Amino acid sequence: MISLTELRAEETGIKQLPSSFGLLKNLKIVLLSGSTGHSSKSRLSHFLPWMSPKRSNPISLLPPSVSGLRSLTALVLHDCNLSEDGIPNDLGDLVSLEALYLSKNNFRNLPQSIGRLPKLDRLSLSGCTTLQSISELPASLRDLNANGCTSMESLTNLSNLKELRNLRLAKCHKLVEINGLESSKFTLYIQMQGCNNLSHDYRMSLLQSLTMGACLGDLIVFLPGTEVPNWFSHRTTGSSVSFHVPSLTEGEVCILLFCAVLAFDDATKPFVNKPFVRMINKTRGEIYDCYPSICVLPVTVEDYLLVFKIPVTSNQEGVQRRLETR
């Protein structure tokens, strides 16, 4: 067993792993999703969720100490009926851990040991509906997914997370503020549709700070909203807008900031695949399709804003340009 590098024990009735588990120094990947302390779910329960076994009190799936797992890079504990007491205090000693998946568990507060993980790159807390606050995150974090944390009211100051690139907070209905996000220079994908407790003034101030700041790359922002902010230069109703673009010198780049209100009817599928903007240079008769780096658009009952940047180089500029959404 000491040479074991990967453990897959998903959807089992395991209540707690033995203490010897924490000594598997060569273990790199652990997948324990759905290990809730009950017997394995039947295939039918995947399609009929109301037939799944009822949850008992939260379990302690991991042993009290895991500091010996020095090679572990990925730990998947999705839907394991865990509370913060089920996370060992020495989890922060896992010096190689890069990916931690804790979605659909019963945390009220994020275990503080997670903030000590020196190499953590991805953290998923999506669907942790009892999570109320996230107080400490490691500086190495690049991807935070807290979608559907419907009880979350506060989030740690993000200004110290210099590596953060992706922030997902959709449907965090009780969240009132996101400290430090307005000064972020490197967070490029921000998903906050359904965060309706954020005040309108805060949302507009945040959006203006992000889009007018020094953000690099292909910035994409989702925010609650029903109209394009009035500080956008060209606004219209419908799916297209025409405007003039100034001539650019050789090598010069112009950034177009695009904002659209997305509204869906009952016939729309759950996701819209591969959204893009079609740019038509009327002067040259040329067409460019711009695909933001998102695969799908989530479909929601409420309208929301999609904002992203489109770079335009000197060989694409022209006297008149028309944008159409698809």
Q: What is the pLDDT of residue 213?
A: 60
What confidence tens digit (pLDDT) does each residue in 62-104 have? 899 999 999 999 999 999 999 888 889 999 999 999 999 999 9
Question: How far apart (Å, rounded) are the C-alpha atoms in residues 238 and 324?
Answer: 9
Instruction: Report pTM.
Output: 0.85
Name residue, tokens 């275990």: 111
| pLDDT confidence bin for 14, thresholds 50/70/90 | confident
Model confidence at 239: pLDDT above 90: no
Separation CA 74–CA 78 (nearest Å): 12
**CA 206 vs CA 161, 201, 227: distances in Å:** 17, 8, 16
- By mean pLDDT, which of 77-81, 103-107, 284-288 is the weakest? 284-288
Q: How deeply is 290 buried, as exposed, middle or buried, from its count of CB atoms within 10 A (0-12, 13-18, 19+)? A: middle
Q: Are 103 and 128 in contact (CB under 8 A)?
A: yes
Higher pLDDT, 203 or 239: 203
Q: Which residue has the tokens 């921000």?
A: 190
From CA 191, how far away is CA 168, in angstroms rounded? 5
For Cα atoms 214, 216, 217, give the angle at the middle one, nearest 5 degrees. 150
Phi, psi (rounded to 5 degrees) for 213: -85, -155
Q: What is the pLDDT of residue 58?
A: 60
The pLDDT assigned to 52 comes to: 40
Rounded to an integer, the average pLDDT of 154-170 is 90
Residue 8 pLDDT: 92
Is residue 281 a contact partner of residue 287, using CB atoms and an 8 Å limit?
A: yes
- Higher per-residue pLDDT: 87 or 312: 87
